[in-house]
Structure 1
């Protein structure tokens, strides 16, 4: 048993919308693929699902039996409803926001603002716009060590980790907003700094690290390099191109295998590819990370594809830890094992998510991390009398 299971379950990425009284009869009839959308998206939130026009708009409307009240005994939510305009193209979203069609920009990879787009907002809107920042996901390289190739050698994986110029990824891949290991995010004052995702390692200069990378490649018998594949989503091709350019200096010809979302969702849980970026962000609860760091046979969604039972042992020790300090130490040891000793995963840079809102949007609660949180907007109102 995991005593932190309630914390893990509270993660907003684990969306539970399967009421038994509606789902069970359908499943018993053989409709085993029934989804929450098939039964009207039943939930406990402040807004009800109203309508969905594919490719256009999703409408939510005020739920008059929502359970929360404000400090003056007014029932929440304040808003009559929310219209989510579907804008796959970030440029189209920027135009809609700057022309007044949207009150806020979207949360989602590709839609979060870059430095350049943020400057454009300020130039055109001035004091009529404000910006929020959240800790985001990780730009990473994860190895499939179950697939034959030079990357099965831990020395090769370690050499790649040492060679990559992580700080260069911030402007090149993350739009200028982010930070790298071993830095602590400047955006989250509430995070317990003892539980930062990356312990402090690899503190040598880039020149020193690259010299060691070449030594390791030669020791492993790959001084002349090799060819390696990298699975990447079409909407994240900048990361793949960055890695391709970086690893060329180590003699590695990185072949980008760019796929659409359908193939991505199939391929990332398969053993078909040499390396990949991985999906989803790491959960803030250490005990909840086994799904992305653990063995492939237990979790095909793991970033790295491995069958290392030592990782199982670390997680069991972590779950059995009875003191806070012991949890911290085991968590740090596990990360060193994953990122340094074995280098199954290379965390390159952590994203900072930037979202814009019009200044008349009031009552927002901005999460310190993870853009999937604080999205009920129960206490939000629009004060359009104020610019």
Structure 2
């Protein structure tokens, strides 16, 4: 732990020195920006989105960007994460399997085309179509049929009870003539969101305000600029050449950033989960005693306090404490002595494993600290940093032993189905750990089919206990959503799931 903490201390000291040494030069940049008049709000992101086509977007930057360009029938409340009207004006359950939706009047796509029920019908069908091959097809698989009752009324008929339909209808609605089209990664699909794509180039996406969708027209254009290096992001913020970074800085760097002129740091508990993934099925990790030992060897609280600077809560369950379905549960304790005993009883007093992680600086430091902690119980851990695409490819192929990942938007507990259910083993989903547990499958199936929230909470509490007892996934912590903003973007507040729709309401 001391090695990782001292590395971060050195990193923060160097960035603080750089910020101080560039102060005089940055003043000229700030004055020049003001003299040139209004400029777009510039938001820095650490990676390029894979695609701007919402049918295929899965990485965090792509998901959050597409939700600025497109809009769904519902959106999630930034506080409670409960679904609320967006393109829909209202909805009514006619019976447990039938939902009638009235569209808000007067809404238009970026092209000027009027939103009608036919667009909704075509979009929901396209998301479920094998020909389109959307990566979100599972979201609509419970829909048996969708029909247009009138120009502005849609009726959704479920094939089976499905408790999460309203949350699922956050899917972006596309124009009917484009819903089944070939992939459009450049962002040219007609949208209904508060921004249109004016230009996309290497490392840059320029978004222009749009007036005609469900939200008032934003007051500012937005530039999403990819800056891979954390130091470079910090210097751009200090120079007043950027306005906003969400979850783009190591928490231990935040005090130095707060000293920059006009920079505001705000945060809130996040609806996310950072976890360790262990490949089930063969080798030492097939033994539950080994997986439990790994969990007991990790000092979650220590890492949350030091490397995450207190901007995280150690995880005892998969669902964060603020989630409506969260049920308190006892975590596996930090107990290296018990971990060593468990490994010896399993026949692995000395063990060599490989841990995959991302190339992000903070994630790499955390991985090295995890390696040090596991070494203390007899596990020699080789850390392999990979770019996101290569990392996910190896995980999907089963070419790994351990990995650290984050579930960035844990909004609906049914999303756990994609990561835990045996029917979701790649290529059919993201059950990369290859979990095959009949009790987990049963609880997930019942949770999806049960409408009553109290009954669902009981089912998910049982699911959490099962995952904990079998150490199927190892929850680590829930990280805060942190926004670092310039004075002109200081009104921005991150939502619980980390979305960026607050850009549309900046004064």
RMSD of the alignment, in Å? 2.8
Indicate how the Cα distance of structure 1 residues 259 and 212 shifts in structure 2: closer, same or farther if over 3 A, else same.
same
Deviations 1:340-373 (A, max 9, x none): x110111112212321122333653531x221x2
1 CA distance for matches of 2:315 and 2:231?
Answer: 31
What secondary structure sits across from 2:480 in the alignment? Answer: strand
1:211 is displaced (CA, Å) by 3.1
**Matching residue of 1:129:** 263
Aligned residue pairs: how many? Answer: 342
Instruction: Say whether residues 1:378 and 2:504 are aligned partners.
Output: yes
Given the alignment of the two structures, is residue 314 of structure 1 paired with residue 443 of structure 2, yes or no?
yes
CA distance in 2, matches of 1:281, 1:244: 23
Q: Does 1:345 align with 2:473?
A: yes
User: Hey, what does 1:107 align to over in structure 2?
Assistant: 246
Alignment match, 2:129: none
- Name the CA shift for 1:102/1:353 in 2 (closer, same or farther; >3 Å): same
Match of 1:156 in 2: 290
Pairwise CA distance, 1:23: 5.1
Q: Is the 8 A contact 2:355 2:381 kept in 1?
A: yes
Query: Which ranges of structure 1 fall in alignment gaps of 5 or more residues?
Result: 28-33, 69-75, 382-387
Give 2:119's aligned residue. none
Say whether residues 1:7 and 2:184 are aligned partners.
Answer: no
Separation in structure 2 between the aligned mates of residue 227 and residue 183 of structure 1, nearest angstrom: 27
Distance 1:213 1:362 in 2: 46
> Cα distance 1:178–1:101, how it changes in 2: closer, same or farther (>3 A)?
same
In structure 2, stretches of 5+ residues that fail to align are: 1-159
Q: Is the 8 A contact 1:140 1:348 kept in 2?
A: yes
Residue matched to 1:142: 277
Describe the shift of the 1:234–1:92 C-alpha distance in structure 2 as closer, same or farther (beyond 3 A).
same
CA-CA distance at 1:326 after TM superposition? 1.9
* Corresponding position: 1:165 with 2:299: yes
Could you tell me how far apart the structure 2 residues matched to 1:4 and 1:342 are? 27
TM-score (norm 2): 0.62
For residue 87 of structure 1, the aligned residue among 215, 227, 231 is 227
For residues 481 and 493 of structure 2, the distance between their equivalents in structure 1, rounded to whole angstroms, comes to 15
Q: Which residue of 1 aligns with 2:367?
A: 240
Tell me, in whole angstroms, the C-alpha distance in 1 between the residues paired with 2:318 and 2:179: 44
In structure 1, C-alpha distance between the alignment counterparts of 2:409 and 2:291, rounded to whole Å: 21
- Cα deviation for residue 212 of structure 1 reads 2.6
Task: Identify the match of residue 460 of structure 2 among 328, 331, 352.
Answer: 331
**In structure 2, do the counterparts of structure 1 residues 284 and 262 end up closer, same or farther at CA, with 3 Å as the change threshold?**
closer
* Structure 2: distance between partners of 1:262 and 1:245: 27
Does the CA contact (< 8 Å) of 1:195 and 1:328 recur in 2? Answer: yes
Whole-angstrom CA distance in 2 between matches of 1:210 and 1:163 = 5
Q: Is the 8 A contact 1:46 1:66 kept in 2?
A: yes
- Give the structure 1 partner of residue 78 of structure 2: none
Contact 1:138-1:351 at 8 Å conserved across structures: yes
1:249 partnered with 2:356: no
- TM-score, with length taken from structure 1: 0.79
Q: Report the CA distance between 1:332 and its aligned residue.
A: 0.9
Q: Which has the higher contact order (CA 8 A, sep 6+)?
A: 1
Counterpart in the other structure of 2:117:
none
Contact 2:494/2:502 (<8 A) preserved: no
Aligned equivalent of 1:225: 350
Q: Which residue of 1 aligns with 2:325?
A: 195
Q: How does 1:236-315 map to 2 (within 5 A)?
A: 236-281=363-408, 283-295=410-422, 296-297=424-425, 299-315=428-444
Give the structure 1 partner of residue 487 of structure 2: 359
Distance in 1 separating the partners of 2:450 and 2:200: 47
Distance 2:461 2:263 in 1: 40
Q: Distance in 2 between matches of 1:64 and 1:266?
A: 40
Residue 44 (1) aligns with residue 192 (2): yes
Q: Alpha carbons of 1:251 and 1:195: their partners in 2 closer, same or farther (altered >3 Å)?
A: same
Distance 1:237 1:318, change over 3 A: same
8 A contact 2:340–2:378 mirrored in 1 = no
The alpha-carbon deviation at position 243 of structure 1 amounts to 1.5
- Give the structure 2 partner of residue 77 of structure 1: 217
Cα deviation for residue 284 of structure 1 reads 2.0
Determine if contact 1:172/1:238 at 8 Å carries over to the other structure.
Answer: no
CA contact (8 A) 1:133 1:355 kept: yes
How far apart are the structure 1 equivalents of 2:317 and 2:265?
A: 23
